[in-house]
Structure 1
Amino acid sequence: MNEHELSSDRLSGLDAATATDRLRRLRPEDAAELLAQMPVGRASTVLAAMPEDFRRAILEVAPPGTDWTDAQSYPAGSIGRLLEDPPAIFLSGTTVRDAIEAMRSLIRKRMVVYLFVVDGAERLLGVVAFRELLYARPEQTLDEVMIDRPFTLHPRTPMVEAMREVVTKHFPVYPVCEDDGRLVGLVRGQVLFEQQAFDISAQAGAMVGVEKEERLATPFSRSFRFRHPWLQINLLTVFAAAAVVGFFEDAIDQLVVLALFIPVLAGQCGNLGAQSLAVVLRGMTLGELRSLPVGRLLLKEGLLGLLNGVITGAVAATAMFVLAHGKDPATALPLALATWVAMSLGCGLSGVAGAAIPVALRRAGADPATASAILLTTATDVVSMGLFLGLAAFLVL
């Protein structure tokens, strides 16, 4: 395979590991050229997945304008991973005439939106919009026409937090500075929003155990390795729910009507837990969880679940009473009571589980979206079916 057979668009459609395999068949110069044509965040992800020796070879021949060396030194998911080299940096005191002269050759190679004015220690002092050069007098300095103390981003800021900071600003380019004000690069607004859109789209797959890195063009064998471990975990959780049903097998054999209501209980509790999970994940994404104590959150979701369970449980209990009364009137009221109590408590506990699972995953250092649905399904199934069958057996048998 040569450079012409592997386009940057095709490369962007591969997961990082597969993209690395394809790039290793090329010369480092050709691989670097292809990476430079990809979205910055995607190129940074592919570079991070490479073996150290191959990554170093590519960084040594990186095209002008790329900032991959610095980008790889920042944490995954941070603004630093999207860095590009600023094309136009000028020392304080530079005249407009000298800046325009220096720009003549530069603008043929790269698009320039802002000129960045720095001091001798490379600390950012201000920015000059390119169009302002048309109105400035040649003898003026950039300091006289610049916007001083401009808005900046920090390279270690997570992309989610950066999105909240820039959502009302809509600048085409954002300078990125360290704590001491030193300019380390820039991030394009379009690149930031594209990367965030990709992260959000990946959450739907992560909820059911699909790796964030898997793409439509990921090879069959690698897709299998991505997905299969999560299915094994899911199988274990299903066995846990099946074990609960098996424990009450005698009760189900004697009261066949119980089998009809097991899916009702599991489905209702599962849906309520999923509602709680969705709200908490959204709150994490928007940063709302930081201002709300976890205990208060769990209490709210538990009470919401309990209230919903009491109301829907009354409907289900009525249906149970009617069905059971036709078979054995003596068991109708106890089974209806078991249904109502089990759905009320089950929904309450499911609400707590839906809020607690993503919080626990985040505190454990894991992605809150990753396979939360799998863990939640197990929790709601075990709780709802265990309560229902246990209460029925206690009240009737």
Structure 2
Amino acid sequence: MSPREPISSDRLSTLDALTATDRLRRIDPIEAAELLAALPVGRASTILAAMPQTLREAILQVAPPGTDWTDAQSYPEGTVGRLLEDPPAVFLSGTKVRDAVNELRELIRQRLVVYLFVVDPQECLLGVVAFRELLYAKPDATLDSIMIPKPFALHPRQRLVDAMREVVTRHFPVYPVCEDNGYLVGLVRGQVMFEQQAFEISAQAGAMVGVEKEERLQTPWLRSFKFRHPWLLINLLTVFVAAAVVGFFEDTIDRIVVLAMFLPVMAGQCGNLGAQSLAVMLRGMTLGELNSLPVARTVLKEGAVGLLNGLITGLLAGAAMYYLAAGEKTADPLTLSLVIFVAMSIGSAFSGMAGALVPVVMKRLGADPATASTIVLSTATDVVSMGLFLSLAAMWVI
């Protein structure tokens, strides 16, 4: 896309936040604000957060009616507060239905109104009134008489994934967002929440291998390079660690060449098993299933599954080792078969437990559990599986 090419909201939504900022800084702030207002609230908030402060303030000053970007920027990324919208229909307790209808006549030409929010003088939420209820209410009745008192509400600092679990059985188009004392800070639309969560889930696979969730197909190649390269350098360092383990046993491999053929087998099998455990653990963390289960129990369960898989694959690998070693006549085939059987079994058990532990450790360190977890896991499984395999061979065969 050429920097001079006119940009639309559809095209803007396909860009990463930094590239979108580059495009928006070239146009008038009013036009930029209108483009952002046409995007999902979460996407607009992410782009605004990536902007230089001067550009962000210029856009916020001319934001269209109904946007609540200023408040949204004050909440952490990944929280309900980042999806806030300004509630269009807020009325004090005691307001007559007639007065509310008169005020709504002009308002509904500008904003979509689903619920009316009834608040006290301190702007704490007392109840909500469905728009359709106004059709059947008497003009002299108060909103308090037809409202739903103490409605379900979300907290602005609540993590989006936690909020999604609460609303999954409440299919409301709009949810009020309140502080602990009931103060109404805004609303969030159900559709917006599901769109944002779908984006977060789609970004998880990339995060596991060090791809920034902001990277898109439309991201310029140089920025894609900057997004990915740091993690590839870390991956290179971890690969050197695994290579150092193999190099330490160079003499063992020179004396029993057949061992080199099975190093990729060990690394691949244990790595895949660990990745399976990691995928299940991340799914459980996303769905909140881990909150009701002890971490130690889950780790041991994954270790047991890994051990069972390792015993079966170890038997098959042992049979292959026996066949090859017997043909080369360089060492005791039966002992070599036992080596790979034991190494595969223990390595697989370790891989299962490592796959369950890596995201837990990442989360406790304050990082996204999915962030580069595959890089960390692959290093751990390679070092342990190949190191154990070569160590046993050095002790039992040579």
What range is the shorter-chain TM-score in?
A: over 0.9
Shift of 1:204: 1.1
Task: Spell out, residue by residue over 1:71-108, the C-alpha distance to the aligned partner (whole angstroms, 9 max, x if none).
Answer: 11111110000000111111111111111111111111
Shift of 1:2: 9.8
Q: 1:86 & 1:230 partners in 2: Cα distance?
A: 42
Shift of 1:251: 1.7
Given residue 165 of structure 1, which amino acid in structure 2 is its aligned partner? E
Q: 1:185 & 1:97 partners in 2: Cα distance?
A: 24
Structure 1 partner of 2:67: 66
Task: Spell out, residue by residue over 1:316-368, the C-alpha distance to the aligned partner (whole angstroms, 9 max, x if none).
Answer: 11221222122228511110110111001101111111111111111111111
Structure 2 partner of 1:190: 191
Structure 2 partner of 1:46: 47
Structure 1 partner of 2:13: 12
Task: Map residues 74-223 of structure 1 onto 2, 5 A cutoff.
Answer: 74-223=75-224
Structure 1 partner of 2:288: 287
Task: Spell out, residue by residue over 1:14-46, the C-alpha distance to the aligned partner (whole angstroms, 9 max, x if none).
Answer: 111111121111222222111111110000001
Q: 2:35 & 2:78 partners in 1: Cα distance?
A: 22
Q: 1:219 & 1:379 partners in 2: Cα distance?
A: 33
CA RMSD across the alignment: 1.5
TM-score, normalising length: structure 2:
0.97
Assess if the C-alpha contact under 8 Å between 1:174 and 1:187 holds in 2: yes
Q: 1:217 & 1:107 partners in 2: Cα distance?
A: 37
Q: 2:4 & 2:125 partners in 1: Cα distance?
A: 39
Partner secondary structure for residue 46 of structure 1: helix
Given residue 17 of structure 1, which amino acid in structure 2 is its aligned partner? L
Partner secondary structure for residue 125 of structure 1: strand
Shift of 1:50: 1.2
Q: 1:328 & 1:2 partners in 2: Cα distance?
A: 67
Q: 2:286 & 2:272 partners in 1: Cα distance?
A: 21
After the TM superposition, which parts of structure 1 deviate over 4 Å for at least 4 consecutive aligned residues?
1-4
Partner secondary structure for residue 116 of structure 2: strand
Structure 1 partner of 2:314: 313
Partner secondary structure for residue 366 of structure 1: coil
Shift of 1:386: 0.8
Q: 2:231 & 2:240 partners in 1: Cα distance?
A: 14
Structure 1 partner of 2:376: 375
Given residue 237 of structure 1, which amino acid in structure 2 is its aligned partner? T
Partner secondary structure for residue 14 of structure 1: coil
Shift of 1:302: 1.8
Q: 1:334 & 1:2 partners in 2: Cα distance?
A: 66
Given residue 181 of structure 1, which amino acid in structure 2 is its aligned partner? G
Q: Tell me, yes or no, if structure 1 residue 265 matches structure 2 residue 271.
A: no
Which deviates the most, 121-130 or 20-29? 20-29
Structure 2: which 5+ runs fail to align? none
Structure 1 partner of 2:254: 253
Partner secondary structure for residue 326 of structure 2: helix
TM-score, normalising length: structure 1:
0.97
Assess if the C-alpha contact under 8 Å between 1:86 and 1:185 holds in 2: yes
Given residue 109 of structure 1, which amino acid in structure 2 is its aligned partner? Q
Given residue 59 of structure 2, which amino acid in structure 1 is its aligned partner? I
Which deviates the most, 308-317 or 323-332? 323-332
Q: 1:157 & 1:329 partners in 2: Cα distance?
A: 63
Which deviates the most, 256-265 or 112-121? 256-265
Partner secondary structure for residue 13 of structure 1: coil
Shift of 1:242: 1.6
Structure 1 residues 330, 26: closer, same or farther in 2, change over 3 A?
Answer: closer
Assess if the C-alpha contact under 8 Å between 2:124 and 2:181 holds in 1: yes
Q: 2:113 & 2:294 partners in 1: Cα distance?
A: 45
Structure 2 partner of 1:230: 231
Q: 1:2 & 1:205 partners in 2: Cα distance?
A: 27
Given residue 277 of structure 2, which amino acid in structure 1 is its aligned partner? S
Q: 1:298 & 1:92 partners in 2: Cα distance?
A: 53
Q: 2:80 & 2:99 partners in 1: Cα distance?
A: 32
Partner secondary structure for residue 121 of structure 1: coil
Assess if the C-alpha contact under 8 Å between 1:3 and 1:30 holds in 2: no
Q: 1:30 & 1:4 partners in 2: Cα distance?
A: 14
Given residue 326 of structure 1, which amino acid in structure 2 is its aligned partner? G
Count of aligned pairs: 397
Partner secondary structure for residue 332 of structure 2: helix
Structure 1: which 5+ runs fail to align? none
Partner secondary structure for residue 128 of structure 1: strand
Given residue 77 of structure 1, which amino acid in structure 2 is its aligned partner? G
Assess if the C-alpha contact under 8 Å between 1:3 and 1:26 holds in 2: no
Structure 1 residues 314, 180: closer, same or farther in 2, change over 3 A?
Answer: same
Given residue 52 of structure 1, which amino acid in structure 2 is its aligned partner? Q
Q: 1:322 & 1:3 partners in 2: Cα distance?
A: 66
Partner secondary structure for residue 117 of structure 1: strand
> Percent of aligned positions with the same letter in both sequences?
73
Which deviates the most, 245-254 or 144-153? 245-254
Q: 2:333 & 2:61 partners in 1: Cα distance?
A: 78
Q: 2:5 & 2:18 partners in 1: Cα distance?
A: 20
Partner secondary structure for residue 126 of structure 1: strand
Given residue 193 of structure 1, which amino acid in structure 2 is its aligned partner? F
